Amino acid sequence: MKRDSVFEFFRRLAEANPHPETELESINDYTLLVAVVLSAQATDAGVNKATRALFAQVDTPEKMVALGEDGLKQHIKTIGLFNTKAKNVIALSEALIAQHGGQVPADRDALEQLPGVGRKTANVVMNVAFGAETFAVDTHIFRVGNRTGLAPGKTVLAVEKQLEKKVPQPFRVHAHHWLILHGRYVCKARTPECWRCNVADLCRYKLKTPPPKNRRNNADTAAV
């Protein structure tokens, strides 16, 4: 995708949603970190459902350690891989207390040293908590980057590097949110809703999906 097309791509996404936000619920930097760790291979909605009661009770690493692994499991048992995630959350909480005074570090490398925190999680926290121009490539962004031609790559890191190189100002801070939301609700995996995509003409995807029959018929009736 050419530079002027990339700018227009993000300009349209920004115009449609000027203030995008993560759909994960949190009350501070620490609970954001925990929520992102729990969201691996799980839906944001499922994580939010599990963490509302948890975060009302636990909002610091010290409180999480006091709750303990078994107590945490009771809150998050509806989330996939909850046993491993509980162990990691307790371990990262202990690491935050021991190494960072109980505070979430504003440094990607330091975040990646925490148990259960990979590059994507670190990028999300850096972006949402600290306003860093990072690009957290999940399955949605990987798909959108490749399907549209915006940031093609065979690995998530390759797509991330393409985005770092191509996304212009003033769109860099919110770019990953626009792409996630676009992939989640419009450029879907099985059946992308090209008929209501506001960047379809900039996209290299050739098999543009038409609107559902009932929608087309309704539109025709309304037109008459």
213 has catalytic annotation: no
Asked if residue 194 belongs to a known ligand binding site, the reply is yes
Cα distances (Å, whole numbers) of residue 108 to 41, 112, 195: 21, 6, 38
Told to judge if 63 belongs to the known catalytic residues of this protein, a careful annotator would answer no
CA 104 – CA 46 distance, rounded (Å): 24
Which is the catalytic residue, given 87, 138, 161, 206? 138
Residues with Cβ within 8 Å of 188's Cβ and at least 6 positions away in sequence, in order, are none
Query: Residue 145, annotated ligand binder?
Result: no
Tell me: is residue 203 an annotated ligand-binding position: yes
CB of 144 closer than 8 Å to CB of 179: yes
Residue 66 CB: number of other CB atoms within 10 A?
11
Contact 166, 159 (CB under 8 A): no
Of the residues 120, 201, 208, 213, only one is catalytic, namely: 120
- Binding residues for [4Fe-4S] cluster, as ranges, are 187, 194, 197, 203
The catalytic site residues sit at: 120, 138
Q: Give the annotated binding-site residues.
A: 187, 194, 197, 203
